[in-house]
Homo-oligomer: A and B are copies of this chain.
Amino acid sequence: MFNKLKLDDIRALERIAPTRVLTQAQINEDYFHDELGTAFGVPEALVKVLTTAEVSQVLKYAYEHDLPVVTRGSGTGLVGGAVATSGGIMIDTSLMKKVLDFDQSNLTVTVEAGMLLMELAAYCDQRGYQYCPDPGEKSATIGGNISTNAGGMRAVKYGVTRDAVRALTAVLPNGEIIKVGSKVVKNSSGYDLKDLIIGSEGTLAIVTQATLKIIPKPEYAISILVPFATMSQAISTVPKIIGAKVTPVAIEYMSCDTILFAEEYLGKKFPTHASDAYLLMTFDSNTQEAAISDMHTIADLCLEEGALDVLLIDTEERSASVWSARGAFLEAIKSSTDQMDECDVVVPRSAVADFILYTHEVARTVSMRIPSFGHAGDGNLHVYICRDKADDETWQDKKSKAFSMMYAKARELGGLVSGEHGIGLAKKEYLASTLGDTQIQLMKAIKRAFDPKGILNPGKVI
């Protein structure tokens, strides 16, 4: 159905993006997979774009010549979303990282899609503002964050990427450029194309610019680490925290084994090993008293619920050790095994403990290590199935069995397939079984509405 690229096509792309088209051996192997490497594909041409107009021209050409196109930011995805599994053209947005507008009156910043999350954070921070979403992978691009609707640690208080996007510039498969949304904060003007494009993993349009909400940076933040005797006790405290009229910025769950991986990976000690289960929470405010008062309210609540202790993370050193451990969990678990795959389910907050206990049962059933950690405050868990020394057949077999069990359980608990990593290639069958045929057919019809030739990131999501 798609054409393979011919020399004429390469020449045409070179006219659009002179000196920025790579082919064959010029393309680094890093571009053949993403962070987890569960999907593999070799693009026939890699185009390092600089402008929305270039993206438009590349798409117009691809559309006219039936060439598949996949978009890639930093390649930090975990589900194969940015892998060229159909060959074709890969558009690399990583050179598009300009700040186009910084608007203090309307509290927005407009950036190009290739800007890294850490670059945006630093840019805002230097000016006394905060871009609220805070996904763990700071070297992801904003475009990538938008494509999967990434969540991150501050979602409990500030919401996810979707909540921070006011407007997008995006290129449709036929090369037409649209601007959806605006700097406005309310909008009831026709169908919500903006939210449809957010989270569509580059299958409906290519996002090239985003206008993002920012807030004046809160003046004070304080974190506590709270050990509990058991996971169930820790997790069952979370809905009580959420209901306590204090909204922590973050409520993260971590288990002792995950902490040990992080210590080994980072070569740094964590402040405590006293217990098997921890909640890590942050409180922010514009007054120190308010942040501390909120912290005390929740510390007291945790102690009433049986917490073993409350450790104040009040020094630079302690804060660095705790948050760097939290930030390194994925890499630490990854380094503990030859290969791994992940399950990014989201369940109602009240069902998190049930789900984690079930992952232990799955681990016993398939005889594999399945460590997990997660955003307990919003029910989003990151669960890792470790291959360790299993041979290929065993690995595929057990992984498939474990995934099927876990996604079925999530569905039973009122949960969904992905909280923030998306569907890509790796989770397609689980999305289909969770949502059912009617919704999948509806999504396919929407895909055809945007992309009648199906050239954009073919085979992904649905």
Whether B189 and A417, one on each chain, are in contact in the complex, defined by CB atoms closer than 8 angstroms, is yes
Q: Does A106 contact B (CB under 8 A)?
A: yes
CA distance A380 to B186 in the complex (A): 7
Q: Does A449 contact B (CB under 8 A)?
A: yes
Q: Does A233 contact B (CB under 8 A)?
A: no
Least distance between A193 CB and chain B CB atoms (Å): 7
Chain B positions within 8 Å of A421 at CB level: 188
Least distance between A459 CB and chain B CB atoms (Å): 14
Whether B163 and A163, one on each chain, are in contact in the complex, defined by CB atoms closer than 8 angstroms, is yes
Q: Does A347 contact B (CB under 8 A)?
A: yes
Whether B198 and A192, one on each chain, are in contact in the complex, defined by CB atoms closer than 8 angstroms, is yes
Q: In the complex, which residues 181-226 of chain A have their Cβ closer than 8 Å to any Cβ of chain B?
A: 182-193, 195-196, 198-200, 204, 216, 218-219
8 Å CB contact of A185 from B105, B155, B198, B243: B155
Whether A442 and B178, one on each chain, are in contact in the complex, defined by CB atoms closer than 8 angstroms, is yes
Chain B positions within 8 Å of A415 at CB level: 182, 184
Whether A350 and B105, one on each chain, are in contact in the complex, defined by CB atoms closer than 8 angstroms, is yes
Chain B positions within 8 Å of A422 at CB level: 188
8 Å CB contact of A245 from B178, B216, B439: B216
Q: Does A57 contact B (CB under 8 A)?
A: no
Q: Does A176 contact B (CB under 8 A)?
A: yes
Least distance between A329 CB and chain B CB atoms (Å): 17
Contact status of A106 and B349, CB under 8 A, knowing A189-B434, A431-B189, A450-B442 = yes
CA distance A344 to B176 in the complex (A): 29
Whether A439 and B185, one on each chain, are in contact in the complex, defined by CB atoms closer than 8 angstroms, is no
Q: In the complex, which residues 416-462 of chain A have their Cβ closer than 8 Å to any Cβ of chain B?
A: 416-423, 431, 434-435, 438-440, 442-443, 445-450, 461-462
CA distance A417 to B187 in the complex (A): 8
Q: How large is the interface on A (under 10, 10 to 19, 20 to 34, 35 or more residues)?
A: 35 or more
Chain B positions within 8 Å of A176 at CB level: 438
Kindly report which residue of chain B lies nearest to residue A216, judged by CB atoms: B245
Q: Does A103 contact B (CB under 8 A)?
A: yes
Least distance between A203 CB and chain B CB atoms (Å): 8
8 Å CB contact of A416 from B184, B246, B416, B420: B184
Q: Does A149 contact B (CB under 8 A)?
A: yes
8 Å CB contact of A435 from B104, B190, B448: B190
CA distance A350 to B187 in the complex (A): 16
Whether A186 and B290, one on each chain, are in contact in the complex, defined by CB atoms closer than 8 angstroms, is no
Q: Does A118 contact B (CB under 8 A)?
A: no
Contact status of A348 and B446, CB under 8 A, knowing A196-B195, A286-B246 = no
Contact status of A182 and B414, CB under 8 A, knowing A103-B350, A438-B172 = yes
Q: Does A160 contact B (CB under 8 A)?
A: yes
Q: What 0/1 readout, one digit per residue, does chain A (217-253) give for beta carbons within 8 Å of chain B?
A: 0110000000000000000000100111110000000
Chain B positions within 8 Å of A107 at CB level: 242-243
Provide a sorted-by-A list of 9 A–B residue pairs whose CB atoms are within 8 angstroms.
Answer: A103-B348, A150-B188, A155-B185, A178-B442, A182-B414, A182-B415, A184-B347, A184-B414, A185-B378
Q: Interface of A with B (CB < 8 Å)?
A: 103-107, 148-151, 155, 160, 162-163, 172, 176, 178, 180, 182-193, 195-196, 198-200, 204, 216, 218-219, 239, 242-246, 286-287, 290, 293, 344, 346-350, 375, 378-380, 414-423, 431, 434-435, 438-440, 442-443, 445-450, 461-462
